Amino acid sequence: MSDHIYKKIELVGSSTVSSDDAIKNAIAKAAESVRNMRWFEVVETRGHIDDQQVAHFQVTVKIGFTIS
C-alpha cells in the first residue's frame, strides 16, 4: 500500500433547497478545477433567514484531495 499526501481546501456552499444541496454545490464547483478529491468534512452549517423563513442554507466544507 502506498502512502498518500493530502491537501485540504475550505469552501462554503449555498442552496435555497437544503444543506445537502449546499454541500453538493460546493463539491461540484470544486470538481471544475480540483482533481483527486477523496473526502469532505462538514465544518459548519448556518443559514440566512428572510421574512421569517429559511432563505438559504450555507455549509462550510473541507475537501481533501491527494497530491501524491
d(CA 20, CA 14): 10
Confidence of residue 6 (pLDDT cuts 50, 70, 90): very high
Residue 28: the pLDDT is 98
Q: Which residues contact 40 (CB under 8 A, 6 or more apart)?
A: 23, 27, 61, 62, 63, 64
What would the mean pLDDT of 7-31 be, rounded to a whole number?
97
Give percent above pLDDT 70 in the chain.
Answer: 96
